Chains A and B, each alone.
Chain A
């Protein structure tokens, strides 16, 4: 497989559940990102990893916990979420991080519904 793959594509969970989103990239990129996409709102950057080190955490609540075990894989662990966390969660990768012409390759997203 090529590109950026996200699983699951759809997830419904209760507020007390624990689940994880997975992202995998086969592009040899050094940087990976988690974004939250809500209807009619700009993409919200959640976390950035560069060479497996977290370089950015944009004041995201602790109920979201990222993990980057290697440069090809990124996880987002979810715990005791709120209904307002329902959104599309997009994973992206780029060759490097911190340059002007940094083109992102996105996955198709995980649609999360919190009941």
Chain B
């Protein structure tokens, strides 16, 4: 079966750096997404990786290794507003989106 694994919950301190990991086993691969979802709000698109390597966007970076079936989202200079759930999703060979259950990130002062 197809599966996306990510930690259920993580805690980090304001100003610090946190890395949220995502591993996947899917039938084929056509890209990996990260979405952010604040409580009670819509998920919003953060990043898309289809080639190996690191994509940087301001304080957020996303890394992909297709050979390892692995990605991470790196958040730097954490702010209280970064407290949210982070959803990892992979597009399989049929262009179906397979979702992880999300990682709830708690930022403490």
Contact = CB atoms under 8 A, between A and B. Distances in A.
A90 B43 contact: yes
A106 interface: yes
Interface residues on B, range: 20 to 34
Contact of B101 (A41, A99, A101, A109): A41
B95 A109 contact: no
A103 interface: yes
B30 A42 contact: no
Contacts of A90: 42-43
A42 B37 CA distance: 13
Given A41-B101, A101-B48, A108 B41 contact: yes
A105 interface: yes
Contacts of A105: 42, 45
Interface in A89-108: 90, 97-108
Interface in B72-107: 87, 89, 91, 95-102
Nearest to B6: A42
Give the interface centre of B31, B97, B102 by most chain A CB atoms within 10 Å. Answer: B97
A27 interface: no
B101 A100 contact: no
Contacts of B45: 103-105
Contacts of B101: 40-42
A42 B100 contact: yes
Contacts of B95: 97-100, 102
